[in-house]
Chain A
Amino acid sequence: MSTYAQKKGFGATLWDFLTTVDHKKIAILYLIAGGFFFVVGGLEAMFIRIQLAVPNNDFVSAGLYNEIMTMHGTTMIFLAAMPLVFAFMNAVMPLQIGARDVAFPFVNALGFWLFFFGGVFLNLSWFLGGAPDAGWTSYASLAIASKGHGVDFYVLGLQISGIGTLIGGINFLVTIINMRAPGMTYMRMPLFTWSTFVTSALILFAFPPLTVGLVLMMFDRLFGANFFEVTMGGNTVIWEHLFWIFGHPEVYILILPAFGIFSETFAIFSRKRLFGYSSMVFALVLIGFLGFMVWAHHMFTTGLGPVANAIFAVATMAIGVPTGIKIFNWLFTMWGGSVKFTTPMLYAVSFIPSFVAGGVTGVMLASAAADYQYHDTYFVVAHFHYVIVGGVVLAILAGTHLYWPKMFGTMLNETMGKITFTLFLIGFHLTFFIQHFLGLWGMPRRVFTYLPGQGFETANMVSTVGAFFMAVGVIVLLINIIVTSARNVRVGNDPWGDGRTLEWAIPSPPPFYNFKQLPLVRGLDAYWLEKMEGKMAMTPAEPIGDIHMPNASFLPFTIALGLFIAAFGAMYHVDHKPWALPVMVIGLLVTFASMFLRSVKDDHGFHIHKEDLIEKTDKGVEA
């Protein structure tokens, strides 16, 4: 552990990351894995747009199109957006509350590896006989009838990565409840920490329904059960409910951290305290609560009846109120501030009109009667891309630029960042704005092609051109990352110069123990308060002392690996492959043996001694 400052070989670095339980390294793992899947999902999106660029196109076949479309949605939601959001939560949240790590570092690593192996398993379907093709919602009647192993990959892969997300969420909850620094009351927590808290609560309550749904689906497909098989007395609508009881909170799981990142961005670059802090917190919590009351608005046309539709329509529209509160608060934060248009701020400013557009179409879709018209058209596609790309993806890009120096100790190039921003924003609106009209003109979703002469040609071509703009934007970002890493100009604690919260009070990247002495928090925007009083650092809340740290462990990797192996066994068991059952048993043995080892072998971690901390001090210890 004291090898921190030394240069390490590739093997040592790899082993370090495979066994790490440090939240900052796990954040980097999430960022790399999520970034990789983001590129994969982006490629799938490009294939979709190329196929739809001209009528009667045969770039991909109908079956392959279904697979690409399904995998685009599944990958982007579960394997790109969520891990990237988790990357920022891991990197920033413990620093913001003044903690030395998350509550359960081992579980944190386990969560990452479960997500990673689940994602790899899902994507291996491309090479093993075809990807899932029943849409990211995988509605039961379609999914059960799906030939081959595609949907099995979906069920097992999401089950594994879902466990990872769930334990990650629980970990964040415990961390925020128990590990806040002295003085960090709930109402002094930075907004990003608040959004992590609410998001984790949503994960806690939303993932169990998905788990149940996936288990039922798994039994239907792999072990001959009939939960969703109507001809055998099952009920296919139950899947829709279970999926959306999970699925609607899921989109808030994505957007709330985005709100958090933008709240930080607005405050930092307007050099003002966030306007209406307590109402922002209230709105976050309210959105979280309401998020569980609206799932049936995805099912208006299923035939729930007018009463249920009306209730869910009203509940859905109600969400516009807290969201509106947040939008106005962001605007008022900028009002009268001394605004600096850095790359993250550009994303934040452009997020407001983009997201409002998505919100307005959301209220349109929420009117159940009108939804019968919009349902299953490109209008819906345009709506959710406006909220997810215009909200979540812009936030992820903003967060990448904002927190890159904190995570890696070097600033991304601002000029290239602004080029990425311009290309991406233009591309985004070019791609999706026109899709509203495509939908209103009657183009259905999830079709692999359309006929000429229906008035869809120009609009689809425009949309495809926009997609290429976004792709070029992302490529510029990747070049930016490579160039920045190669130059590797080191930066100090507060590279943006206007950091307000605790993470900017410590070096970039922070030492592995984060805070030599836990900081004393004296109000909202703790670091800003100290800076305004002319202090260079936080007032410590404790004398310097031994720090208890967890040991690195390879077991999270093997626990997840075991489930990954077992999933193959479970899946090929259906084909009566003689090796399938042993593989499943071996996989589960690996998992349970690792868990057993973890349980019986006491691991008390280690202490960094006071003397070592003082030696490494650059400007003296404050008592």
Chain B
Amino acid sequence: MANHELNSGNPRVDIEYRRKKSKEEMRYQIVSFTMMLFLTFIAFGMVAAKGFSHWFTVPIILLLAVVQVIFQLYYFMHMNQKGHEAPSLFLFTGLGVGLTAILTFMTIVWW
């Protein structure tokens, strides 16, 4: 949640450090963006290739989706930075509750 503008009005801001940090962040963003494109390509390719059974492709695609969500949240939405403990706690709790409900409706609810 910290501010990342270079000119925050604070005279003691270490511009060198900020610049290095931003550069590093940019690198992570590009790497994760490339990875995401690559993962999407794999997912697409697996379906297009036809050779694999559904029991193989579906779990793999789901797994790739989870990885993509993590990239999205942590690198693009900055959840890897400090000050995101409470949001991530609630996010994962919500995810837990939601997934339990979905699991329930797929297993012990019958028609």
Q: Using Cβ atoms and an 8 Å threshold, which residues of chain A touch B96?
A: 292
CB contacts (< 8 Å) of B49 on chain A: these are: none
Q: Given A292-B100, A293-B100, check contact A241 B93 (CB 8 Å).
A: no
Taking the nearest CB of chain A, how far is it from the CB of B21, in angstroms? 25
Contact with B along A242-264 (1 / 0, CB 8 A): 00010000000000000000000
Least CB distance from A446 to B in Å reads 25
Which residues on the B side are within 8 Å of A205 (C-beta)? 93-94, 97
B48 within 8 A of A: no
Residue among B94, B97, B100 with the highest chain A CB neighbour number at 10 A:
B97
Q: How far is the CB of B9 from chain A (nearest CB, A)?
A: 21
Q: Across the interface, do B86 and A177 meet the contact criterion of CB distance under 8 Å?
A: yes
Q: Does B107 contact A (CB under 8 A)?
A: yes
State whether A245 touches B101 (Cβ < 8 A).
yes
A292 touches B97 (CB 8 A): yes
**A241–B104 CB distance below 8 A:** yes
Closest B residue to A240 by CB, please name it: B109
Query: Does residue A226 face the partner (Cβ distance < 8 Å to B)?
Result: no
The reply to whether the CB of B105 lies closer than 8 angstroms to some CB of chain A is yes
A-B contact pairs, 13 of them (CB 8 A): A173-B90, A201-B90, A201-B93, A204-B94, A205-B94, A205-B97, A235-B109, A238-B109, A241-B101, A241-B104, A241-B109, A293-B100, A308-B108
Interface residues of B in 16-63 (CB under 8 A from A): none
Complex CA distance for A245 and B105, rounded to whole angstroms: 12
For B107, what are the chain A residues with a Cβ–Cβ distance below 8 Å?
A: 308
Please measure, in the bound complex, the distance between the C-alpha atom of A199 and the C-alpha atom of B92, giving whole angstroms.
17
A245 to B96, CA, bound (A): 13
* Cα distance A230–B109 in the bound complex, in angstroms: 13
Q: How far is the CB of A314 from chain B (nearest CB, A)?
A: 15
Q: How far is the CA of A204 from the CA of B105 in the complex (A)?
A: 21
Going nearest first, the 7 A-B pairs with the smallest beta carbon separation are A304-B108, A308-B108, A205-B97, A177-B86, A292-B97, A237-B109, A245-B101
Q: Cβ of B93: which chain A residues have Cβ within 8 Å of it? A: 201, 205, 289
What CA separation (Å) do A479 and B76 show in the bound complex? 61
Contact residues of B: prevailing secondary structure: helix
- Cα-based distance from A237 to B97 in the complex (angstroms): 19
B109 → chain A closest CB, angstroms? 5
B103 CB → nearest A CB, Å: 11
Cβ of A224 within 8 Å of any chain B Cβ, yes or no, is no
Beyond A237-B110, A245-B104, A305-B108: 5 further Cβ-contacts under 8 Å? A204-B90, A205-B93, A289-B93, A296-B104, A296-B108
Find chain A residues with CB under 8 A from B97 CB. 205, 245, 292
Contacts of A209 in B (CB 8 A): 101
Answer whether A238 and B90 are a contact pair too, CB < 8 Å, given A205-B97, A292-B96, A292-B97: no
Chain B residue contacts of A293, Cβ below 8 A: 100
As a 0/1 sequence over residues 445 to 461 of chain A, the CB contacts with chain B under 8 angstroms (1 = contact) are 00000000000000000
Instruction: Determine if A238 and B105 form an interchain contact, defined as CB atoms under 8 angstroms apart.
Output: yes
Q: Which residue from chain B places its CB closest to the CB of A309 in the assembled complex? A: B108
Interface residues of A (CB under 8 A from B): 173, 177, 201, 204-205, 209, 235, 237-238, 241, 245, 289, 292-293, 296, 304-305, 308
Chain A residues lying within 8 Å of B86, measured Cβ to Cβ, are 177
Beta-carbon contacts of B54-94 to A below 8 Å, as 1s and 0s? 00000000000000000000000000000000100010011
**Set A173, A201, A235: member contacting B111, Cβ < 8 A:** A235
Nearest chain A residue, comparing its CB with the CB of B89: A201
What residues of chain B lie closer than 8 Å to A177, measured between beta carbons?
Answer: 86
Separation of A237 and B109 alpha carbons in the complex (Å): 7
Which residues on A sit within 8 Å (CB–CB) of B105?
238, 241
Chain A residue at minimal CB-CB distance from B101 = A245
Q: How long is the Cα–Cα vector from A173 to B96 in the complex, in angstroms?
A: 19
Residues of chain B with a CB closer than 8 A to A289's CB: 93
State the CA gap A293–B96 with chains docked (Å). Answer: 10
B7 to A: closest C-beta gap in Å: 26
Shortest C-beta distance, A89 to chain B (Å), equals 19
Task: Determine the distance from Cα of A209 to Cα of B102 in the docked complex, in whole angstroms.
Answer: 12
A113–B49 CA distance with the chains assembled, in angstroms: 59
Q: Which residue of the partner chain B has the closest CB to A311?
A: B108
Task: Give the docked Cα–Cα distance between A304 and B90 (Å).
Answer: 29
A238–B105 CA distance with the chains assembled, in angstroms: 8
Residue of B whose beta carbon sits closest to that of A288:
B93
- In Å, the complex CA distance between A209 and B105 comes to 13
Nearest residue (CB) in A for B104 is A241
Chain A nearest CB, measured from B105 CB (Å): 7
Bound-state Cα–Cα, A177 to B89, Å = 12
The docked-state distance in angstroms from the alpha carbon of A292 to that of B93 is 10
CA gap between A235 and B105 in the complex, in Å:
11
The complex places the Cα of A308 from the Cα of B104 at a distance, in Å, of 9
Complex-state Cα separation, A304 to B93, whole angstroms:
25
Chain B: minimal CB distance from A116 (Å): 28
Q: How far is the CA of A245 from the CA of B109 in the complex (A)?
A: 13
| Min distance, Cβ B10 to any Cβ of chain A, angstroms | 20
Docked Cα-Cα span, A177 to B93, in Å, equals 16
What is the chain A residue whose CB lies nearest that of B110?
Answer: A237
Contacting residues, chain B, for A245 (C-beta < 8 A): 97, 101, 104
Q: Which residues of B sit under 8 angstroms from A237, Cβ to Cβ?
A: 109-110
Among residues of A, the one whose C-beta sits closest to the C-beta of B107 is A308
CB distance from A575 to the nearest CB of B (A): 32
Considering the chains assembled together, what is the distance between the CA atoms of A241 and B93 in angstroms? 19
Question: A238 vs B104: C-alpha distance in the bound complex, in angstroms?
Answer: 10
Contacts of B110 in A (CB 8 A): 237
* Closest residue of B by beta carbon distance from A302: B108
Give CA–CA (A205, B101) in the complex, Å: 11
